[in-house]
Amino acid sequence: MHRDIAPGITQIATTRRDNAFLIAGDDGFTLVDVGWASAPATLLTAVADLGRKLSDIRRVVLTHAHPDHVQGAAELRDLTGAQILIHPADHPWLKAGRVPREGRSGSVGRLLDRLPKLRWTPFTADATVTDGDPIDDSDGLRVIHTPGHTPGHIALLHEPTHTALLGDAVFHRGSLTLGPAALAAAPALRPAALTALPPDLRTIAFAHGSPLTGARAEDFHLFLERLQRNSGDARSQR
């Protein structure tokens, strides 16, 4: 299942709960996130539906090193020859093939990481990207570092269409939330990290949940305002 959410941006459901994104550039596609081990096969079908071939995926940007985003990445690189990019703070996790103990603030998260199905084949990225970096000359993407969910979590801003691909910085399953604190590395950092997003976003897309487009983009701006107000209140009560 895939659909265009803005000019040049296709959202692909790699499972019923997980999304990856294809961004068109001059030399082919940039893929934002991969998904579980089953994702490469789903991505292959979606790219074929678009009349393109898998090797048209030239690079893969990982929003962070959690298994539901990176487990299929090593296989996808074998199939496509794509370059894999990640923030340096999450790169050691990629190379370890698992989330380390300090990667989850709560015991529930640490217990989950002991399950073999939440591991992945360790691999090394081709390059790292940090706040403000463009991904490629032609795909229009820029990195916004949004730490908290993981230390190296990044959002991608598609400047030509004022679209933000938020990864797991915000979840949109039914309602907008920051997600479970126990699964985040440093949950308290999350509200402030989102202030780096530009105020004029027209489309907001999520790794988990449906995108907000058109008039519904306003829902996201109201969510951010509420978040900043609440985190301000929490600070003043300390």
Q: Which residues bind Zn ion (CB under 5 A)?
A: 66, 68, 168, 207
Judged by beta carbon, residue 24 or residue 34, the one nearer Zn ion is 34
In this structure, are residues 160 and 169 in contact, taking their beta carbons and an 8 Å threshold? no
Judged by beta carbon, residue 66 or residue 87, the one nearer Zn ion is 66
DSSP-derived secondary structure letter, 209:
B
Smallest separation (angstroms) from Zn ion to the CB of 225:
24
Judged by beta carbon, residue 24 or residue 164, the one nearer Zn ion is 164
Smallest separation (angstroms) from Zn ion to the CB of 51:
29
In whole angstroms, what is the distance from residue 193 CA to residue 174 CA? 23
Smallest separation (angstroms) from Zn ion to the CB of 67:
8
Which residues, 6+ apart, have CB-to-CB distance to 58 below 8 Å?
A: 25, 27, 28, 29, 30, 80, 82, 83, 136
Smallest separation (angstroms) from Zn ion to the CB of 68:
4
In whole angstroms, what is the distance from residue 203 CA to residue 94 CA? 29
Q: Which residue is nearest to Zn ion (CB)?
A: 66
Judged by beta carbon, residue 68 or residue 90, the one nearer Zn ion is 68
Tokens of 57: 């995926």
